[in-house]
Amino acid sequence: MKPLELYKTMLTIRLAEERVAAIYPTDKIQSPIHLSLGQEAVCTGVCAALRPNDRLYGTYRGHGLYIAKGGDLGRMFAELYGKDTGCARGKGGSMHLAAPEQGLMACSAIVASTIPVAVGDALAAQAEGRDRLVVAFFGDGAVDEGVFYESVNFAVLKNLPILFVCENNQYAIHSRVADRRKVTDLHRIGAGLGLKGRRFDGNDAGAVLRATAAAAKSIRAGGAPQLLEFMTYRWVEHVGANTDYQEAYRFPGEEKKARAADPVSRAKKKLGKAADAVHAEVVAAVDAAVAFAERSPFPAVDQLLSHVYAPAPIAAPAADPTETIRYGEALRRATEHVLATDPTSIVMGIGVDDHRAVFGTTKGLLARFGKQRVFDTPIAEGAIGAALGGLKPIHIHIRTDFLYLAMDQLLNMAAKWRSMYGGTMSVPMVVRAVIGRSWGQGAQHSQSLQALFAHVPGIKVGMPTTPADAQDLLLAAVADPNPVLLIEHRLLYDLEGPVARPGRAGAFLRTVTRRRGKDLTIVANSYMAVEALKAAEFLSTQGVECEVVDPVTIVPLDEQPILDSVRKTGRLLVVDTSWTSCGVSAEVAARVSERAFEALKGPVRRLGMQPAPCPVSKPLENAFYPDAASIATTALEMLGRGAPDLRAPALTNRFKGPF
């Protein structure tokens, strides 16, 4: 790019943001803004060095990136105004700009959150052999986050085609780099992980362009990822439109020094009169963009719930079972079918390629499909970016407890992505996670976290109970264009049941009536459905016929079979694999009370884990979980019957530790 073009881009960013600052006090923009005044050279030079098919992931300070990567200026202003013509249909605002058609995939309000997404996209580029570079663009504050190091480690380990760009404006909100870390040469911080870095003047667009172009050329040729640190300065407050040089966190004389290094003025001085030729053009473009935003309509209220989920594909009709297999084998067979029929599918996660093969569910897949498609990963992975890059990742966590470490990526990013960017993108990824109950797994290896994920719109949640559920839900989840979490109970892996041959995906939405009855409805999920069936068999000997209903998918929840059953029996007992407080059992009880209250003959009862962390001691662990005995006892109490002496049946599976 020629110097005049660089200048024009910087001037557009400068004048656009100055206009944003002028408009902000009028309340026409009613969302936080993070201006990059004084930093224009970094995004301009970086984007000028990229090819049209290269992809970039940025931060909440994203106006400059959006403009430099070729985003439509009118749609940017419309987005800031919250208008329907905005780049995210008014749902993202200033902090969530994106122009995927130009390669700007996302800006995010969460510090460092797009870095692992960029790494995942680079994984997709590498897997598909694309001549495409991915850039992770972030501020100096992001290097204080653990996810930065996890992402760098994975990128270097896999030699991914990614460039890390640190725009060091010397402040993280009001905190100086030197106040946050001993080592202030941020380009050196990845050396221990094998990431080479260099520092450059970030107020010289030409220097930024040359440095980025050189790094990009090396990476495209198969070289290792690199880190470029560009030194610049933030002229205004962290968030808002005002200067704050009077505040104590700034040093005296900083403003004068910053203004002297103004990248726009420096470029204009070098160009001389040639710079004047583009000024009127840029002013007119900004005026037109503001006018477009002003006259654009706000989104209709009926758009509120649009773009939360992408439409699911048409489901294939259910096939007849052909054989009886184990639950774990059903998962393995479904995964093998996906890998064999979809070359974009991959399986990633801890232990997927070891001899245990995640309780046998990935056994033989490495040998058949190779380490490029079945591979072990660190805890932090880039499944979101891989999905955005065109892959179909199946990401496996051997404990649901480990999902806490991925909570930001799953709930702040994957679940919100489609809505946050106005329906322009979807994240078709599958996460499998295992509830590790039994054999003294304790407080941090046995949690059942479906309620946490079911609470946040944008992600689907399923809990397969039978081998048929396991196979069908996994196939449906892979075919779904939305992020899907499948939670599997470890005590189910040896459960046998009839299963059809893997084929086209069926419907994901599923609530199954496991047993018919007339006296009481038991709604139980996952392994608790197994215990509920045991209890129902015993209760039948006592003259009580229970109907057992299993909500296999928690989100979306097919509530109709539950309501129909309650209207028939008049009584409801809900049994969950997790705690009762604010959980799935509470949601089921609430829906029944809202929609079928008139049918209830008595209070809804709930059973779940005791309100404490799971203990290791076996007697305490036995008391911690509901079982067939406690379910039967509660059912008889609800019917006004005395409870006989019950002895809980043995656990369903033959598992014995240590893991």
Angle 528-398-148 (CA atoms, 0-180°, nearest 5)? 130
The answer to whether residues 187 and 167 touch, using CB atoms and an 8 Å cutoff, is no
Crossing angle of helices 560-569 and 584-595, in 10° steps, is 60
User: Is 621 in the active site?
Assistant: no
**Whole-structure pTM value:** 0.95
Residue 543: is it exposed, middle or buried by C-beta count within 10 angstroms (0-12/13-18/19+)? exposed
Greater confidence (439 vs 351) lies with: 351
Chain centroid offset of residue 447 CA: 20
- pLDDT(659) > 70: no
**For range 360-367, the mean pLDDT:** 97
At 380, is the pLDDT very low, low, confident or very high (cuts 50, 70, 90)?
low
The answer to whether residues 492 and 652 touch, using CB atoms and an 8 Å cutoff, is yes
Predicted local confidence at residue 251, as pLDDT: 84
- pLDDT(204) > 70: yes
Crossing angle of helices 73-81 and 3-23, in 10° steps, is 20
Distances, alpha carbon 12 to alpha carbons 22, 26, 72, 81, 278, in Å = 15, 22, 12, 19, 10
Predicted local confidence at residue 253, as pLDDT: 84
Predicted local confidence at residue 442, as pLDDT: 87
The two tokens of residue 14 are 């400068």
pLDDT per position as a tens digit, 297-348: 999 999 999 999 999 888 888 888 889 999 999 999 999 999 999 999 999 9
Q: List alpha helices for 221-374, DSSP H.
A: 254-260, 263-271, 276-295, 327-341, 357-360, 365-369
According to DSSP, residue 25 is labeled: G
At 256, is the pLDDT very low, low, confident or very high (cuts 50, 70, 90)?
confident
- pLDDT(656) > 60: no
- pLDDT(383) > 90: no
Choice among 203-217, 236-250, 526-540 with the minimum mean pLDDT: 236-250
Query: What is the helix (H) or strand (E) element at residue 62, kind and residue range?
Result: none
pLDDT per position as a tens digit, 571-580: 999 999 999 9
* Nearest-angstrom CA–CA distance, 397 and 369: 20
pLDDT per position as a tens digit, 27-78: 999 999 999 999 999 999 999 999 999 999 999 999 999 999 999 999 999 9
- From 79, 336, 381, 488, active-site residue: 381
Q: What beta strand segments (E) does 50-103 contain?
A: 55-59
Catalogue all structural domains in the chain, each as residue range(s) with its CATH number.
Answer: 3-303 (3.40.50.970), 323-499 (3.40.50.970), 513-638 (3.40.50.920)
**For range 215-240, the mean pLDDT:** 96
Residues 6+ apart with CB under 8 A from 134: 54, 55, 56, 57, 118, 119, 121, 122, 125, 160, 161, 162, 163, 385
Angle 149-151-157 (CA atoms, 0-180°, nearest 5)? 100
What is the chain's Cα-based Rg? 28
The two tokens of residue 274 are 């040639």
**For range 409-413, the mean pLDDT:** 94
Query: What is the helix (H) or strand (E) element at residue 535, kind and residue range?
Result: helix 527-541
Residue 657: is it exposed, middle or buried by C-beta count within 10 angstroms (0-12/13-18/19+)? exposed
Predicted local confidence at residue 646, as pLDDT: 60
The answer to whether residues 19 and 288 touch, using CB atoms and an 8 Å cutoff, is no
- pLDDT(423) > 80: yes
At 658, is the pLDDT very low, low, confident or very high (cuts 50, 70, 90)?
low
- From 445, 488, 531, 547, active-site residue: 445
User: Is 381 in the active site?
Assistant: yes
Residues 6+ apart with CB under 8 A from 546: 515, 517, 519, 520, 521, 522, 532, 535, 536, 539, 540, 635
Mean pLDDT of the residues in the chain: 94
Residue 130: is it exposed, middle or buried by C-beta count within 10 angstroms (0-12/13-18/19+)? middle
- Fill in the amino acid letter for 521: T
Residues 6+ apart with CB under 8 A from 99: 66, 69, 70, 71, 72, 75, 87
Which residue is listed with tokens 């224009």?
40
CB atoms near residue 101 (< 10 Å): 12
Angle 146-460-417 (CA atoms, 0-180°, nearest 5)? 55
